[in-house]
Chain A
Amino acid sequence: MALLLLVISFALFYFYMVRAKKGAEISARTFPAVAAIPEAVGRAAEMGKPVYYTTGLGMGTLNNPLNGPQTLAGISILGHVTRLCSRNGVRIDYFTPIVDSLPLVEETMRTAYLMEGNPEGFDTNHIHFQQDQSPYLTASLGYMQRERPASNIMLGGFYYESVVLGEAGNTIGAMQIGGSANTHQLPFLVATCDYTLIMEELYAASAEIAGDPDVLGSLKGEDILKFVVLALLGVGFLLGLANNATLINILRM
């Protein structure tokens, strides 16, 4: 049953992606956090300060089913932010404890500078790696105190570092944009950041930034699936009231 649902989901995404590519109009609401990214970079340019960017602990590896995609989504958006920084002459410092993301990040940032016609602007010394959560946190806190970045962008799989980095950013008066799909960190990100991407908004943000119509089509497919889930919940609720476990048994097959 799970495989069938997976196939149906993929088919739905593909259907709407093809429709969108053929010209069907699909509109997605603008995420305030995404719209605020140029503002954050602009603020850094005005103040002559760098931008701090991190994708969080992410359980220390890309090879993690829940956090790996969050890190990758954060890296997708990193490309966009790096391009904006290059365009505005702003330094961007990327901090990570995820060792297997380093080649990917390097390539993303290098390509971003290249696409802006500024290949010499890329410096690998702006990619800061510290193995494990505590050294990464200490390094980030020290960086914030020394460099006092104008903007903090924290998008990825976060753990307790979200509240520490968020508060440290508030201490130095940085503009903060955060986002994670880890439910346990959402309250801290919402409390400490000026703009937040919540749960699937983190994944959808990279789609919005890409602006490809077929990518937006997948968001439509996602929304249709949500209606399907709602319908299942409704039917399940009514069956549950009648003490009928048919739907549960079907879903457990």
Chain B
Amino acid sequence: MSEVYKRELVFLVAGLVAAVMIVTYFLDIPVLNGLAQQLQVWALIIQLMAIGLGAINLVRVNYRHMQQKTEGLWIFSAWFMVLFAIMLLLGLVGLSTGSENAIYSWVFANVYTSLSSTLYAITGFYIFSAAYRAFRARNIDAAILLIGGVFVILANAPVGAVIWKGFPIIGGWFNISGQVPAMRTFTITGALGLLAYGFRTLLGKESGFYGEAGQ
């Protein structure tokens, strides 16, 4: 298929789907409702099929590291391939028997989720080092931000009220009167930007959606 049709076809499909979804969101048209439901199911199927693509990408990249014995990396790639094969087999066994494989569930619950939680916990440490490194009162704006931030931090911690009753009050004021209007502004302007971006995408003006590389 020529490059011309590839782009125009994507444009046409995207436009039609968008039109159906927008109309069904606002208007109750039974025929279109059924079509919209089907489109949602198809989108889900495509999304799930893409997982296969992801698996292929993972295997390809890690196999290459193993093959080339990339320094410092190939041993981890080999370990990945072993784990990948184990989990795949366990999952397939569960699929074939119609019930969840106990080992698969155990590995997921006790290994993967524990590691996941550990990664999330790292955030706290990084925020701490970021606070030390980045929160400097370089100018008036930064100084006001810092002072407000300190009050909000101590308003959120029970110890703040113990140190001084004013911390929760002033921190709460910064939160309600300072932070909330700013968040509303961000939400409104973000929504408008999203609207314009969506419109440009539907008109084919946004290269990202069509896999082009822009100017």
Contacts and interface: CB of A to CB of B under 8 A. Distances in A.
In the complex they form, whether A and B have CB atoms below 8 Å apart is answered with yes
Interface of A: 2-3, 6, 9-10, 13-14, 17, 61-63, 66, 69, 72-80, 82-83, 99-100, 102-104, 107-109, 111-112, 114-115, 124-125, 127-134, 137-138, 142, 146, 160, 163-164, 166-168, 170, 181, 183, 186, 188, 191-192, 198-204, 206-207, 209-212, 214-215, 218-219, 221-222, 225-226, 229
Interface of B: 22, 26-27, 43-44, 46-47, 50-51, 53-54, 57-58, 60-61, 64, 72-73, 76, 112, 115-116, 119-120, 122-123, 126-127, 129-131, 133-135, 183, 186-190, 192-201, 203, 205-209, 211-215
B57 A127 contact: yes
Contact of A129 (B54, B186, B197, B207): B54
Contact of A206 (B73, B135, B192, B206): B206
B45 to A, nearest CB: 11
16 contacts: A79-B207, A82-B213, A83-B213, A107-B211, A127-B57, A131-B51, A134-B116, A142-B76, A163-B126, A183-B183, A183-B187, A186-B186, A203-B197, A210-B205, A218-B196, A229-B188
Q: Which of B73, B76, B194 has the most CB of A within 10 A?
A: B194
Contacts of A192: 130, 134
Given A99-B54, A219-B196, A74 B123 contact: no
A203 B213 CA distance: 16
Contact of B130 (A69, A191, A214): A191
B207 A125 contact: no
B199 A80 contact: no
Given A75-B208, A108-B213, A210-B205, A183 B190 contact: yes
A51 to B, nearest CB: 15
Nearest to B126: A167
A2 to B, nearest CB: 7
B130 A163 contact: yes
Given A73-B197, A76-B206, A100 B214 contact: no
A111 B212 contact: yes
Contact of A210 (B73, B119, B207): B207
A201 B27 CA distance: 32
